[in-house]
Amino acid sequence: MAVPLLDLKAQYATIREEINAAVLRVLESQAFILGAEVEALEQEIAAYSGCRYGVGVSSGTDALLLALMVLGVKAGDEVIVPTYTFFATAGAVARLGATPVFVDVDPQTYNTHAQAIEKAITPRTRAIIPVHLYGQMAGMPAIVALAERHNLIVIEDAAQAIGAEYEGKRAGQYGHMACFSFFPSKNLGGAGDGGMVTTNDPELYDKLRLYRNHGYKPKYYNRVVGGNFRLDAIQAAVLRVKLPYLDAWTQARQRNAAIYRQLLAEVDGLRLPCELPNVRHIYNQFVVACERRDDFQSHLQARSIGTEIYYPLPMHLQDCFAELGYKRGDFPHSEAAAQQTLALPIYPELTQAQLEEVADAVRAFFQLPAPA
Ligand SMILES: *Cc1c(COP(=O)(O)O)cnc(C)c1O
């Protein structure tokens, strides 16, 4: 039995009629850009995330870029980001000519933390972008307290963490802004690219809307140099169908994680994801770690089990950031994670038989003798 890493068709099959009707509604309206669907989604995502405002944008990447643009981040500014993350977190900083300043992550949760961030603060630091990796939030109370002491802006990269909680507060409720992604592989995925910036600050909200659409105020009168970061109505309509299911899907992911924990508890040499006691982990990914990770992945592939390496090379070692002067060994926890982690299938529609198939294949690998 093949088990893919993600099976979007399985989810579509459960809501096909509703999705199709929503898409048709937009087609019939021929109103494709922003508009009522997007505004409704903005309110619904803001409410879901415990924030006052939402601004629908073209992707999670553009959410990050827009959040930094409205702060006026520019050449000479530094923005602190974890080196072990998806490229967009760092890319958004560099695209504005500012300098991403990398910090290491915690070896258990793979999230960055206040102690690492504090050491990287300089007089040029403008903002911090903690990433809530794999669906578990970073330790935001300490990060926010640190930011307040140094008068820094906090932008949460919540692309993998919609609905995640840390000590009872949601992704989006800690930072000045939070950036969400609706890329199809996220827990709330559209029929294409999409994203959202949330905030509680009315001034930031106005600026986000201004920069999202070329700095128009009014149309064709450009107050600032913005861009086209608009969200499509079709995406909003699809996402509005899906949002009411999100909590049930999250529960299914949590149930799958619990089943893996049972089935894999005694596997020596395999590290299961660390779930902190004070969080709501939404399991965008279920990421295990081991030595000989690449052999492990090949073994699972031979048994038709889909996996993915998130992420094989930390940002400080990427060619595009070579001029920043980092070297191998600078961030040992991130470098180890990049070599040892592997995501297993965790999507909500997995059956018990599929979960057992994955677990059997995992166990089989660890009983094999080391290669000669
Ligand atoms: C997916 C993701 C993004 C970017 O979102 P897109 O919608 O794909 O542009 C940014 N940061 C993290 C951590 C992500 O996982």
Domain boundary among 244, 267, 290: 244
Q: Is the pLDDT of residue 369 over 80?
A: no
Ligand 1 atom with least separation from CA of 284: 15
Distance between CA 204 and CA 338 in Å, rounded?
35
- The 10 Å Cβ neighbour count of residue 268 is 7
Whether 65 and 168 share a structural domain? yes
Whether 188 and 43 share a structural domain? yes
Domain boundary among 185, 220, 244: 244
Q: Is the pLDDT of residue 371 over 60?
A: no
Backbone angles phi, psi at 343, to 5 degrees: -90, 130
Whether 189 and 238 share a structural domain? yes
Distance 364 CA to ligand 1 centre (A): 33
What does the pLDDT look like over 311-346, one tens digit per residue? Answer: 999 999 999 999 999 999 999 999 999 999 999 999
Whether 75 and 103 share a structural domain? yes
Whether 144 and 222 share a structural domain? yes
How many structural domains is the chain composed of? Answer: 2
The per-residue pLDDT of the chain, averaged, comes to 97
Cβ of residue 61 lying under 6 Å from some atom of ligand 1: yes
Ligand 1 atom with least separation from CA of 186: 1
Cβ of residue 334 lying under 6 Å from some atom of ligand 1: no
Whether 135 and 257 share a structural domain? no
Helix axes 8-29 and 233-242, enclosed angle (nearest 10): 130
Distance 67 CA to ligand 1 centre (A): 14
Nearest residue (CA) to ligand 1, atom 7: 60
Tell the residue number behind the tokens 């080391």, with chain if given. 370
Residue 205 falls inside a structural domain: yes
Q: Which residue stretches of the chain are H helix?
A: 8-29, 35-48, 60-70, 87-95, 114-120, 140-150, 202-212, 233-242, 246-263, 293-302, 332-340, 352-367
Distance between CA 36 and CA 56 in Å, rounded?
12
Ligand 1 atom with least separation from CA of 193: 7
Cβ of residue 284 lying under 6 Å from some atom of ligand 1: no
Residue 96 falls inside a structural domain: yes
What does the pLDDT look like over 214-244, one tens digit per residue? Answer: 999 999 999 999 999 999 999 999 999 999 9
Distance 88 CA to ligand 1 centre (A): 6
Whether 134 and 194 share a structural domain? yes
Distance 360 CA to ligand 1 centre (A): 31
Whether 250 and 237 share a structural domain? no
Q: What is the CATH number of the domain that holds 142?
A: 3.40.640.10
Cβ of residue 80 lying under 6 Å from some atom of ligand 1: no
Contact between residue 188 and residue 239 where contact means Cβ atoms under 8 Å apart: yes
Residue 348 falls inside a structural domain: yes
Q: Is the pLDDT of residue 357 over 60?
A: yes
Distance between CA 71 and CA 163 in Å, rounded?
25
Whether 232 and 253 share a structural domain? no
Residue at 49: amino acid letter: S
Whether 260 and 197 share a structural domain? no
Over residues 79-97, the mean pLDDT reads 98
Nearest residue (CA) to ligand 1, atom 5: 60
Give the residue, out of 86, 156, 157, 283, with the most ligand 1 atoms within 8 A of its beta carbon, to mutate for a pocket test: 86
Nearest residue (CA) to ligand 1, atom 14: 159
Domain boundary among 228, 244, 260: 244
What does the pLDDT look like over 288-311, one tens digit per residue? Answer: 999 999 999 999 999 999 999 999
Nearest CA to 185 out of 285, 92, 255, 260 is that of 285
Model pLDDT, residue 193: 98
Cβ of residue 156 lying under 6 Å from some atom of ligand 1: no
Give the residue, out of 6, 58, 61, 187, with the most ligand 1 atoms within 8 A of its beta carbon, to mutate for a pocket test: 61
Q: Is the peptide bond before 311 cis (omega within 30 degrees of 0)?
A: yes
Residue 372 falls inside a structural domain: no
Distance between CA 266 and CA 219 in Å, rounded?
62
Distance 42 CA to ligand 1 centre (A): 18
Distance between CA 274 and CA 137 in Å, rounded?
12
* Exposure class string for 74-104: b at 16+ Cβ within 10 A, else e: eeebbbbbbbbbbebbbbbbbebebbbbbbb
Residue 371 falls inside a structural domain: no
Contact between residue 57 and residue 190 where contact means Cβ atoms under 8 Å apart: no
Which structural domain, as residue segments, surrounds residue 40? 8-244
Contacts of 100 (CB under 8 A, 6+ apart): 78, 79, 80, 81, 90, 93, 94, 315, 321, 324
- Helix or strand holding residue 343 (H, E): strand 341-344
Q: How confident is the model at residue 139 (pLDDT cuts 50, 70, 90)?
A: very high
Residue 320 falls inside a structural domain: yes
Whether 333 and 230 share a structural domain? no
Nearest CA to 81 out of 301, 314, 252 is that of 314
Whether 251 and 222 share a structural domain? no
Over residues 102-109, the mean pLDDT reads 98
Tell the residue number behind the tokens 């020596």, with chain if given. 268
Model pLDDT, residue 208: 98
Nearest residue (CA) to ligand 1, atom 2: 159
Return the SS3 of 25: helix
Residue 97 falls inside a structural domain: yes
Over residues 160-168, the mean pLDDT reads 98
Ligand 1 atom with least separation from CA of 183: 7
Q: What is the CATH number of the domain that holds 253?
A: 3.90.1150.10
Distance between CA 217 and CA 210 in Å, rounded?
7
Ligand 1 atom with least separation from CA of 185: 1
Nearest CA to 152 out of 123, 126, 172 is that of 126
Q: Tokens at residue 148, please? A: 């307040």
CA distances from 297 to 2, 232, 245, 290, 303 (A): 14, 37, 32, 10, 10
Residue 85 falls inside a structural domain: yes
Contact between residue 162 and residue 187 where contact means Cβ atoms under 8 Å apart: yes
Q: Is the pLDDT of residue 368 over 70?
A: no
- The 10 Å Cβ neighbour count of residue 349 is 18
Cβ of residue 58 lying under 6 Å from some atom of ligand 1: no
